[in-house]
Structure 1
Amino acid sequence: MTDAITVDICIIGAGSAGLSVAAGAARMGARTVLIEAGRMGGDCLNTGCVPSKSLLAAAKAMQAIRAARRFGADGLEPRIDFAAVSRRVHDVIETIAPHDSVERFTRLGCKVIQAHGRFIDPGAVEAGGQLVRARRFVVATGSRAAAPAIPGLGGVPYFTNETLFDNIVLPNHLVVIGAGPVGCEMAQAHRRLGARVTLLDLGPMLPKDDPEAVAVVRKSFATEGIAAFEGVTILRVERSQGGIVVALREGDGERLIEGSHLLIAAGRRPNVENLGLDAAGVRFGPKGIEVDARLRSSNKRIFAAGDVAGSYQFTHLAGYHAAIVLKNALFRLPAKADTRALPWVTFTDPELAQVGLTEAQARERHGDRFRVLRSDFADNDRAQAEGVVEGFLKAMVTRRGHVLGATIVGPHAGELIQSWVLAVGLGLKIGALAGMIAPYPTLGEISKRAAGCFYAPTLFSPRMRRLVRVLGMFG
């Protein structure tokens, strides 16, 4: 082992959180070491957000060809080259990769060590034969796909998000276990690219989302020919001559579902193993590293950010965590993570987006002391023009008009939710959205229309009608 490197901050993990911390620290003049044993960019770039959204974009393009008959075209079934689709997915990864590369971070002034890092004591990390001592450390090792305890699963081949995007042959029949965001997105993508798809889950589809909004997604899946089975009991998985068989309990018997390929999308597990966390005095468990509101571990010199911190597993949350860590680690500001305005989006078609409280959560916390404001895409002129009228927006607000949360299911929900993120995050009242001038015709008018519903009972009440008539008497 060479002499110790002494720096201001040492980051283990070059995924979304780690890269953001490293870039910020180095650009602000901190002596920075970044340690990564695998590929720079982590899960998001290589096996998560970037490839999945690229595959979804290809699938959406194919679906647009099929739907062209609505606009007067032939609407023929597209001839799909799945290998070419796969190549484009990797082209997108390669285009973005330089932004996350060793070369870029070295130019920023960050020392990058491409090796496995582990703590050897509360103030030192060993990586690639080098000893790193730092004033502050950040563990940002992310998470990995979890394999559920299904009998026989270990004896059959299956995809996870870490291997799915290396596949260049279209599955004849893809069976997906897990109807969370990843499972739903990949089920729809492969169906639109020509595969038969069966989607299975022990519980309901997208369980963290508003059930009424999920019903819109479920209807879309049924229309497109995705066979979805929710609340099932999976008895076993085994090989078959054509691929795999999943046995489900059905009454006193069983139902067999045979597929050519299997995708496991049943949750993730934080990467906390082989990091020497015990030697560093860092408490951790199955959900990740235990942190306080400032993202400090039980060793106050060591922070955790991103998936490994045991919170919501989103790339945008990892970036937010990075900002909190930098404020604490470099400037010693008591910044605390606040996820009350954390949005999330499932990029199915229609998209499903959420920020703040769902209707059920608002009812649980506020009883009947809140209102639900609603607007349907069917009432939006731009949605009618583009033929995308399924879905709605509903906002939960207090009786005084403070925005508690919003749910959007429909076209571009992930973009439309952002004004509601601002409202929840800044504690705005509904009048801020009701009073904005929305360009016409846009999908964004749905936000203004929903917000305006708050005032409708007052503006169009009998009392207001009487007031208008009285005022009219004075000329």
Structure 2
Amino acid sequence: MNTQSNYSEDAVLQQLTFPADWENPQSGNYDLVCIGAGPAGLIAAMIGAGLGGRVALVEKQGLGGDCLHHGCVPSKALIAAARRYYQVRSLLAPAASPFDLPSKPAFDTMRAKRAKLGHGDSAARLSEMGIDVFLGTGQFRNKHSVTVNDRILTFRRCIIATGSQPACPEIPGLNGVTFHTNRTVFALPQAPSSILIIGGGPVGCELAQTFGRLGSQVSLVTRGALLPKEDEAVSALIEAQFRTEGMTVLTHGEILRVSANDHNKEIAIRTTGRTTNVKAEELLVATGGIPSVGKLELQRAEIAFDRHGIQVDDRLQTTNRRVYAAGDCIGKMAYSHAAEAMARICIQNAFFWGRKRLSRLIIPRTTFTDPEVAHVGITRREAEQQKIALDHFRKDFQQTDRATLEGTLTGYAEIHCRRGTDQILGASIVGPQAGELIGIITLMLTNQIPLRNLAKTIQCYPTHSGILKTLADQYTKTQLTPLRARLLRFLLKRR
């Protein structure tokens, strides 16, 4: 971890993933050196060691990377707590006077769960797996070696997996105020009385709803629509949900300036021709990330890079044939699960004459708002831009029994097929357990399973997965042409 903390759970995590008394191994020759111990670096190192290679893993801040310390793990733990808070309020508020639930226990629980998961990425555990762990900044010495402090690691192959760091937009006055990013926001002791969030992507939306449910007055500001990668209908649905929960949402705005006074942060934003001033106790900037490559000395290893990240080909090989790169540092598919998949590609291509290609990966994505937003494959907008004709099969969750029983009625599931066929090209799900359900469609896309096969699959009742079977049934009905219908009626009456 790269920030000081007064919490005992954080001290435990620090000792696990960046122990102060750790002594790096001596210099040596390695089959594989992995720089960066986030999802990609960890997976690559574990596979390499498991196959019998001599592997070194280099990390400068904390084993587990952003995912464990500042990303997926703390955010999802806090989201889960906030969802329970919201459910309790929703159940009791109609029959009781307004009440507040303290948010500090939610933050304490988040820190405890993060520390618990830290055991899986600990220096001691990785060492037991046969991986030489080097804590410190890794820098290329030449085309085939890396230095970590005074140690020299010579490699046959190297995988760069240094991740990303928060991107901060150029807004007048921003550098003059104290603000949070994902690297610092989880160090808060509890939810502030009010928070202003700049950025309407997945991180901004997830944390806006989370802080709102934990008791903060939330203002969410973004230059475009919420979740801009998704179709317009998805963005509109999430914005409506946020407004229902009492958030202030300002989209398609231009932030004119940021200032601080009287212990508050304030922004001036222009939307639809008028200027609005918004104040809050805390400010969170969640405008994405930029590849973290600045201290690697890539030029010494003749590795090309630019502001978008390390340049790789479709096999994830850099301009140095000994070196591969995976994860956020290449500026593509910035998801933890994508980074893990890239790490496997790197290992296969680096050591086993593999021809695995990044472009062939089917990568789903999920935003863990409530309702969840999940997608895989092509979107409606992308199909229109590429002039691909589609058939759409859609059903709203409010028409399903499980959602009715649980009261989770917001959202829908939609599958996109190539026009006139049951070849699945994409799917969007907005609703309960969307992140789990999208895995079924991802399996089908990856293995080129046609939609009609889903109609043959028996689903338990009542489950949310039943909604996908109804979409397959919709396709089946389109195959019932008038001629087939007459033939079926004839056979029915004859029997």
Task: Tell me the CA shift for residue 109 of structure 1.
Answer: 0.6
- Contact 2:392–2:415 (CA under 8 A) maintained in structure 1: yes
- Contact 2:290–2:331 (CA under 8 A) maintained in structure 1: no
- Contact 1:402–1:427 (CA under 8 A) maintained in structure 2: yes
Task: Tell me the CA shift for residue 247 of structure 1.
Answer: 0.6
Distance 1:251 1:64, change over 3 A: closer
Task: Tell me the CA shift for residue 432 of structure 1.
Answer: 1.5
- Unaligned ranges ≥5, structure 1: none
Q: Does the alignment pair 1:396 with 2:416?
A: yes
- Alpha-carbon distance between aligned partners in 1 of 2:26 and 2:85, rounded to the nearest angstrom: 57
Q: 1:257-336, aligned counterparts within 5 Å?
A: 257-336=278-357
The DSSP-based 3-state class of the residue aligned with 1:454 is: helix
Task: Tell me the CA shift for residue 363 of structure 1.
Answer: 3.0
Q: 1:306-455, aligned counterparts within 5 Å?
A: 306-338=327-359, 340-368=361-389, 370-398=390-418, 399-455=420-476
- Alpha-carbon distance between aligned partners in 2 of 1:221 and 1:250, rounded to the nearest angstrom: 18
**Counterpart amino acid of residue 181 in structure 1:** P
| Number of equivalent positions | 471
- Contact 1:247–1:254 (CA under 8 A) maintained in structure 2: yes
Distance 1:129 1:448, change over 3 A: same
What does residue 237 of structure 1 align with? 258
> What do residues 89-126 of structure 1 show as CA deviations (whole Å, max 9, x unaligned)?
11011100011011011001111111111001111101
**Counterpart amino acid of residue 84 in structure 1:** P
- Contact 1:14–1:141 (CA under 8 A) maintained in structure 2: yes
> What do residues 422-449 of structure 1 show as CA deviations (whole Å, max 9, x unaligned)?
1111111111111110111111000000
Counterpart of 1:456 (choices 450, 465, 477) is 477
Counterpart of 1:12 (choices 6, 20, 35) is 35
**Counterpart amino acid of residue 129 in structure 1:** D
> What do residues 286-312 of structure 1 show as CA deviations (whole Å, max 9, x unaligned)?
111000111110001011011002211
What does residue 41 of structure 1 align with? 64
What does residue 82 of structure 1 align with? 103
> What do residues 273-296 of structure 1 show as CA deviations (whole Å, max 9, x unaligned)?
010100100000111100011111
- Contact 1:236–1:248 (CA under 8 A) maintained in structure 2: yes
> What do residues 402-435 of structure 1 show as CA deviations (whole Å, max 9, x unaligned)?
1000000001100011110011111111111111
Task: Tell me the CA shift for residue 37 of structure 1.
Answer: 1.2
> What do residues 144-172 of structure 1 show as CA deviations (whole Å, max 9, x unaligned)?
11110000000101010000000014212
What does residue 208 of structure 1 align with? 229
- Contact 1:172–1:195 (CA under 8 A) maintained in structure 2: yes
Task: Tell me the CA shift for residue 183 of structure 1.
Answer: 0.1
Task: Tell me the CA shift for residue 219 of structure 1.
Answer: 1.3
Distance 1:293 1:238, change over 3 A: same
Q: Give the stretch that moved more between structures: 336-345 or 56-65.
A: 336-345
- Contact 1:198–1:226 (CA under 8 A) maintained in structure 2: yes
- Alpha-carbon distance between aligned partners in 1 of 2:253 and 2:364, rounded to the nearest angstrom: 29
- Unaligned ranges ≥5, structure 2: 1-23
Distance 1:172 1:3, change over 3 A: closer
**Counterpart amino acid of residue 279 in structure 2:** E
What does residue 55 of structure 1 align with? 78
**Counterpart amino acid of residue 283 in structure 2:** L
- Contact 1:2–1:131 (CA under 8 A) maintained in structure 2: no
> What do residues 56-114 of structure 1 show as CA deviations (whole Å, max 9, x unaligned)?
011000011022259xx846656422222211111011100011011011001111111
What does residue 6 of structure 2 align with? none
What does residue 118 of structure 1 align with? 139
**Counterpart amino acid of residue 32 in structure 2:** I
> What do residues 338-379 of structure 1 show as CA deviations (whole Å, max 9, x unaligned)?
3552100000000000000012222333443x2001111011
Q: Does the alignment pair 1:185 with 2:177?
A: no
Q: Percent identity?
A: 35
Task: Tell me the CA shift for residue 3 of structure 1.
Answer: 7.7
What does residue 243 of structure 2 align with? 222
> What do residues 243-281 of structure 1 show as CA deviations (whole Å, max 9, x unaligned)?
111011256652211111100001101111010100100
The DSSP-based 3-state class of the residue aligned with 1:278 is: helix
- Alpha-carbon distance between aligned partners in 2 of 1:303 and 1:379, rounded to the nearest angstrom: 48
Distance 1:396 1:143, change over 3 A: same
- Alpha-carbon distance between aligned partners in 1 of 2:149 and 2:211, rounded to the nearest angstrom: 41
Q: Does the alignment pair 1:159 with 2:180?
A: yes
Distance 1:465 1:250, change over 3 A: closer
